[in-house]
Structure 1
Amino acid sequence: MNARPQGTSASPWFRLIRGGGAPRLRLVCFPHAGGAANFFRSWAPLVPDDVELLAVRYPGREDRIFDPPVERMEELADSLADACASLASSPLAFFGHSMGASVAFEVAVRLAAAPGAVGPRALFVSGRAGPGKNRSRGLADATDEKLVEELAAMSGSTAKALANKELRELLLPQIRADYRLIERYTAAVPSPPLDIPVCAYYGDRDDRVDEDGAKAWSEVTRSAFVTRSFPGGHFYLEEHMAPLVADLFTHLGTKDSA
C-alpha cells in the first residue's frame, strides 16, 4: 500500500488522473456514495500542470468490483489514512463530495493525530453538512424502487446510470453498502480541532445541506473557514465544475489552470 500510484495498478486506493513525477501539490478527491474515481476524470484539464490529481478508488466498483465494499467508516478511513501517508513526498489537499466529504474529513483527522504523519494543507468538503447537522434517510434498507427514486431526485451521473437495468443490478449493492456506511457514522468535532483551512461548498437547492449545515464545518478547524454556494442541487458540481475547481485553486494559492 506504500507504493507510488502509477495509473491504476500501483496502489489499490488511488487512480492517477493527471500528473506524476514530483508535483508541487497532490489533490486527492473522494467520491460520493455510489460514486467512483472516474467521476473526477473531467477535472483533468482544469488542474494546473504542476498539480497531481488523484481520485480515491473505493472497493466494490470499477476495477475493484470484486473487492468487498467497506461498510464501516472506521475501516475505510483507517485504510485511506495509511494510503495517503505514502503520498507525503508532496503537499496534499483533500476534496470530498457528499459521503466523500466525511471520508476526507476522517482521513484528515487521522493524519493530524498520527505522530510523524503529514496531513493535507487544506480540506474542501462539498454537498455534506458538518458534524451534528446530518440526518439519516434510512435508505440502506429501502426497497430498490425507493432507492432509485431517491437517487433520481438528486440527479447526477449515478442516477442516470440506474436507468439501465444491467447497470442498476451492478450498482445498487455498492450504493447500499455506502449508505450503510454513512448511516452508521456519526461525525464528531476533533479535539483538538484541525489546524488547516476548511472550505465548504453546497448547491443552493440541495435539500441535504443548507447554509447552516455547511457552516457547521467551521467547528472542525481552528484555521480559516469559508463557505460558498453554487446554483443547483446535490450534484451542482457537475454543472459548475470549472468555477468550482477555479475557486478551489484560488484557496490553494493559484488560479492558473492547464
Structure 2
Amino acid sequence: MTGADGSTATKSARVPWWPLLRLREAATAPRARLLVFPHSGSGPNTLFPLVDPLPDHVEVLGLSLPGRERRFGEPPGCRLDQVLDSVADEVLGRDPLPTVVFGHSLGALLATRAARLLGPHCRAAVVSGQAPGRTPRRAHGTTTEADAVRLLRDGGGTPEWVLRDPDMLAHVTRVLRADIDLSREAAVGFEDVRLDVPLHVLGGTADPLVPHEPLDGWADHTTGACQVLRFDGDHFFLLADAYRPTVVDVLRRALAEG
C-alpha cells in the first residue's frame, strides 16, 4: 500500500474497495478518461456540471467515499493508502486510456497523489481550491463539530436547509471531519510530491478557506508546464455560472494534452 511518504507494502495486503463511480459513459468508443476527486464532505456528482459538457469520447469516473451519495449508509472515514491504492488498482485494471485527474480542495491533494501512482497513464492534472506544499490549511484546524459547522458556513456550497436540519447537519459534519482527517494525512510530505505532466491550477481570489497568493507555488509540484488561473470568487467559484465555461475549457485542454 502507498503511504503519505510514497512507501509501498505488498500488493497482496490490499482489499478491493471499488471507490470509483461512473459519472458518464463515453457516447462513442472512449479515447480519454477523466478522474474526478471531489471536495471534503461531498461526492463526485457535485462536480457533474463541469464534466457533462466534455467531448463524447471522454469517460468520466468519480471518487466515491463512504458516507455520501451511493455510499450514504456507510460510516465515513478511510485511510489515504486505502483510497489511493484502490483508485490505482481499479483504473489500471481497466482498458488503458490517456487519463487526466481533476480535484477540488481535498480532491486536489488526492488527485495529485493518485497521478503519481498512475504513471504514464496520467497525461495532465487539474487542481482547484487547494494550497500547494506546506502552506497552512485552515480546514486542518477543525477539531470539533462547532468548528466543522463554521467551516461549512464560511466556505459556502452547503444548502441552507442542510444547515437548519439537525440530523442532516450532524451527518454532514461527521463526513466532513472524516474527510479532514484524510486531508491531513494527504498533506503530510506533500511538499515532496512531484509530477511530470502539465498542471492546471485554479483558485478564487475571495476564497475564505484557501488564500490565492500561494497558488503559484504549485509549479514546484511538476516538472512540466504549470498554468495558474485566478477567478473573482469564493471556494466554489468553479461552479458559478460566470466561470463554469472557463473551467470546462481548462478540462478540455487538459484532456487534449493526452
Question: Normalised by the size of structure 1, how large is the TM-score?
Answer: 0.82
Q: Distance in 2 between matches of 1:100 and 1:158?
A: 20
Q: For the Cα contact (< 8 Å) 2:38–2:46, is it kept in 1? A: yes
SS at match of 1:122: strand
Q: For the Cα contact (< 8 Å) 1:70–1:76, is it kept in 2? A: no
- Please show how residues 16-35 of structure 1 align to structure 2 within 5 Å: 16-20=22-26, 22-35=29-42
Residues 119 and 133 from structure 1, CA distance in 2 versus in 1: closer, same or farther, beyond 3 angstroms? farther
Q: For the Cα contact (< 8 Å) 1:148–1:159, is it kept in 2? A: no
Q: Which amino acid aligns with 2:228?
A: T
- Structure 1 counterpart of 2:206: 205
Equivalent residue pairs, number: 237
- Structure 2 counterpart of 1:3: none
Q: For the Cα contact (< 8 Å) 2:84–2:110, is it kept in 1? A: yes
Superposed CA deviations along residues 182-238 of structure 1, whole A, max 9, x for unmatched, are 1343243447x3211111100111133334421121111111111001111111111
Superposed CA deviations along residues 158-198 of structure 1, whole A, max 9, x for unmatched, are 6763333332122221111011121343243447x321111
Q: For the Cα contact (< 8 Å) 1:46–1:242, is it kept in 2? A: no
Q: Distance in 2 between matches of 1:19 and 1:153?
A: 35
Which stretch has the larger CA shift, 209-218 or 232-241?
A: 209-218
Q: For the Cα contact (< 8 Å) 1:203–1:236, is it kept in 2? A: yes
Residues 227 and 159 from structure 1, CA distance in 2 versus in 1: closer, same or farther, beyond 3 angstroms? farther
Q: Distance in 2 between matches of 1:44 and 1:12?
A: 21
SS at match of 1:107: helix
Q: Percent identity?
A: 30
Q: Which amino acid aligns with 2:190?
A: A
Which of 37, 52, 64 is residue 59 of structure 2 equivalent to?
52
Residues 71 and 13 from structure 1, CA distance in 2 versus in 1: closer, same or farther, beyond 3 angstroms? closer
Residues 243 and 137 from structure 1, CA distance in 2 versus in 1: closer, same or farther, beyond 3 angstroms? closer
Q: Which amino acid aligns with 1:16?
A: R
Q: Which amino acid aligns with 1:73?
A: L
Q: Distance in 1 between matches of 2:165 and 2:147?
A: 16
SS at match of 1:162: helix
How far 1:141 sits from its partner (Å)?
Answer: 2.1
Q: Which amino acid aligns with 1:249?
A: R
- Structure 2 counterpart of 1:218: 219
- Quick check: 1:250 aligned with 2:246? no
- Quick check: 1:15 aligned with 2:21? yes
Which of 52, 68, 84 is residue 91 of structure 2 equivalent to?
84
Give the gaps of 5 or more residues in structure 1.
1-10, 113-117
How far 1:13 sits from its partner (Å)?
Answer: 1.7
